Structure 1
Amino acid sequence: MLLKVALLFAMLIQIGAAIIAVSLIRRTRFNGSWILISGGFVLMAIRRLFDFSTLFGNAPVFQKEEVNSWLGIFISILIFVGLIYIREIFNLRDRIDELRKENESAVLSAVIQAEEKARQKFARDLHDGLGPVLSSIKMGLSAIDLQSLDQQNKLIVQRSTSATDQAIVSLKEISNQLSPHLLQNFGLTTAIESFEDQLLGNSDIRFQFEATIGGDRFSYQVEITLYRIVSELINNSLKHGRPTLIQLSLSQQTDMLCLTYNENGQGFEPDQLSEHQGMGLENIRSRVKSMKGIFQLESAPGKGIHVTIQVPAK
């Protein structure tokens, strides 16, 4: 009696599973693998019906065993083939994910390259257009004979000359930030040292920079990406971190360039950044992602920040 109840329960479960499987065929858009697996569920339900019916019939034992054997064979074949199809589906999905990531990196890289080209063009336009105008103004002011002027006009000329000098210096700084000539001419190490000297030279913040790449040169895309990342990290620290010590190291390990950044500022909870505070870090992530690199950030309130970045040394 207990066996009959158990077989009845198993039969109902198998029939229910078969009905659900068949009903999902349309929702899977008649996927071949799901049709095969649904067929396996249907045969399993038929097998349970056969097992249950033999308890009340007088079918010969060899017929029961033969039918069960054939049903088991067909079930195994259908499920095996269905699983092969499912494996191919998962492989295809993984490949699609890889292609999507590659496309995202390619799009980010194209956007960043377009941005750098726009920066370079703007820097050239400033230097070639506004630079000569300011130089002409300075030459004109320098040609004025101050001895022939009264005190008031002499003061006006001196102030105008000073303002022109400041404008020329500012123009050079802006042009260099847009398209750093030291990076193009002398490489990443020299450009970072110059940037640090301009930004932190007159501050109380200690800056320790260690580079083991020496004067090695890399593609301009790699160098400008790392230069922008370092600039963003230092600027973020000055705006939000208030550190007294910044440590930066740059090295090459086989085919990867490794950048490590540490500062002892206020720190923060990485998952609780405001949109304004997180914009700089998001820009860094985008740049690293465009290079198919690795970005790791560790921080906590009062613990400063630790950043590790690895990008291919193309």
Structure 2
Amino acid sequence: MQTAREYNDCVLIGVSKAINELIINQNFEEALDRSLQHIGQAFDGDVFVAEVSLTPGKEMVLSVKHHWMKVYSQKRLAQNTNKPLAAFAQIFELLKAGKSYAFKKSTADLEISRHLELTGGKSGVVFPIFVRENLWGTLSLNSMEEERDWGEATLSVLQSFACAIGSILTKIIYRNSLEQDIVQQSQQIVETNRRYQSLVHNIPGVVFRCAMDQSWTMVYISPYVEELTGYEASQFLAPEFKRSFAELIHPNDRDFIWMEINRQLKKGSSYKVNYRIVDLQGKTKWLWEQGTVQENSHGEASLEGCIIDITDRVESHEKVMAATLATEDRERRYFSREIHDNLQQILTTAHLNLQHAKRKLMNPKAQAYIESASGSVNEAIAETRSLSHKLMPKTIQDYGYVAAVAAMIDNIRPTTSTKFDFQHNLGSDGLPEDVALCLYRITQEAITNIMKYAQAKEATIQLMRHQSMLILTIDDNGIGFESDVLDPAKGFGLNNMSNRATALGGKLEVDSAVGKGTHILVEVPYQTENQDDRTEIKDLIGR
């Protein structure tokens, strides 16, 4: 016979082994069966784990799922399967409240007594098993040989074992649910990615994500980049990194685009820019880019956006602007010619007639009136001559851009405190009249702005002809202005200046800041292969 202490030690060891089995063994079904064996042997009784379920008729029943019996009996298992809980309402309420229920055959109520008669049991105890705070099932320990009194210590350790089963089940259910969620989310991600890739492949442009650096270091760039640039997408990405996207940007656009993107991002989270690239074949293309700035959890910024080829649109716009400006210049030329050839001749004739009449009249009072009229006519002649020159500077037509700008500076020198310096490398070679006229209008507008607003002490105008480009720069050391004025729609004649540059297939950039002066850059393609384009513009102008 075991002493009470030996019995308690045996029970504690058995429960410890059972709980350890549940924790260590990753196969829950096998672990639970072995755990029940440890419990049954420790308590010298039969152990059952039953699960609560619903029948098709919505009746709650209890069915044994795992067991260990000293003497196996299929009959007893069958009698403990699909057992209606309604027959044990009192016990069910106790279990739902988290309480255990102990019973003896001699003192049990009628329904329990009948069940014990069927199964041959003498006594037992039932514990609830909870999963996610819901009653999942029961743990029961039965004695077939004698009626036992279940002490508090026994009830406590068995309750701990029931809680351990519930915890493991909760973990398994959570893990299975998590795995299902992961599978579903993975499937959704795959489907979303498939749709995204399909969308990206069908966009007539480049979708990208890059580091926010001047190299445009690409993290992702869509395959369309090959059609746009001639280079495969892999060449811009790790591990190849054969080239940066910045290398494709026209050298004269790189710094400006970087500054412009940063300027726009200071005001918001998105930007829009136009710039040029040189593709694999050496062809210049115009691109429109729109993007936003994003930050990761480490505060590292990146750019995401799309790039569209707008070369055809820009070239079409250039032709429209050329035609528009050509019409405007034809009208200017017409009115200039009419004023010079007709109105000025009429006024000159009137002036001569008045002078002749003055000499014929002896009346001093009449001579005074004629002298006044003659002076007014003379002023009108001077004004019409000035208007004719403004409409179409004859110097441009006769001597070209250099002479026209030099004459303009000479004319304004007495009226301004700004010292203008004009430099060029054209030598004796002139420019086509359409190019000369557009550059002259840009220069004229810039000089007017300097005189009106800049308060500059010095200004430099420089026109340099390079191998494939005419570059006009106009700089002053004046007061400058806020960057938002750079919007052509906000005045200072920037829209007209930009249109003139666009008409020649070029571009205009303005950089200014308060107290830093103003820098204007105009780039116009000017090379042998562009001669056909200039001829086309010339035809539009009508020469």
In the alignment, which of 178, 183, 192 is matched to residue 11 of structure 1? 183
Change (3 A) 1:282 1:276: closer
Overall identity of the aligned pairs, in %: 24
Cα distance in structure 1, aligned partners of 2:506 and 2:494: 15
**Given the two structures, how large is their TM-score scaled by the length of structure 2?**
0.43
* 1:240 equivalenced with 2:412 (yes/no): no
Aligned to 2:482: 269
* 1:308 equivalenced with 2:521 (yes/no): yes
* 1:219 equivalenced with 2:436 (yes/no): no
- For structure 2, list consecutive stretches of 5 or more residues without a partner in the other structure: 1-25, 27-171, 203-221, 229-305, 532-543
Superposed displacement of residue 126, structure 1: 1.6
Superposed displacement of residue 303, structure 1: 2.3
Which stretch of the first structure deviates more once superposed, 8-17 or 135-144? 8-17
Change (3 A) 1:244 1:279: closer
Aligned to 2:327: 114
Cα distance in structure 1, aligned partners of 2:318 and 2:480: 29
Cα distance in structure 1, aligned partners of 2:177 and 2:436: 75
Deviations 1:109-148 (A, max 9, x none): 2211111111111111222221221111012112114473
Larger Rg: 2
Cα distance in structure 2, aligned partners of 1:121 and 1:19: 66
Which stretch of the first structure deviates more once superposed, 279-288 or 170-179? 279-288
Superposed displacement of residue 241, structure 1: 1.6
Q: Which structure has the higher relative contact order (CA within 8 Å, separation 6+)?
A: 1
Superposed displacement of residue 231, structure 1: 0.3
Aligned to 1:78: none
Trace 1:253-268 onto structure 2 (pairs within 5 A): 253-268=466-481
Contact persistence 1:243–1:263 (CA under 8 A): yes
Cα distance in structure 1, aligned partners of 2:176 and 2:351: 107
Aligned to 2:512: 299
Superposed displacement of residue 275, structure 1: 8.0
Contact persistence 2:483–2:513 (CA under 8 A): yes
Deviations 1:183-210 (A, max 9, x none): 1111111011111122233433322111
As a proportion of its length, which structure holds more strand?
2
Trace 1:4-153 onto structure 2 (pairs within 5 A): 7-17=179-189, 87=223, 91=227, 97-146=310-359, 148-153=361-366
SS in structure 2 at match of 1:303: coil
- Amino acid of the structure 1 residue aligned with 2:493: G
Cα distance in structure 2, aligned partners of 1:100 and 1:274: 21
Superposed displacement of residue 153, structure 1: 1.9
Q: How many residues align?
A: 259
- Amino acid of the structure 1 residue aligned with 2:379: Q
Aligned to 2:441: 228
Cα distance in structure 1, aligned partners of 2:489 and 2:371: 42
Cα distance in structure 1, aligned partners of 2:200 and 2:371: 86
Deviations 1:24-53 (A, max 9, x none): 79xx9x98967xxxxxxxxxxxxxxxxxxx
SS in structure 2 at match of 1:214: coil
- Amino acid of the structure 1 residue aligned with 2:406: E
Superposed displacement of residue 6, structure 1: 6.3
Aligned to 1:250: 463
Cα distance in structure 1, aligned partners of 2:414 and 2:428: 23
- Amino acid of the structure 2 residue aligned with 1:174: L
Which stretch of the first structure deviates more once superposed, 135-144 or 225-234? 135-144
Cα distance in structure 2, aligned partners of 1:267 and 1:279: 12
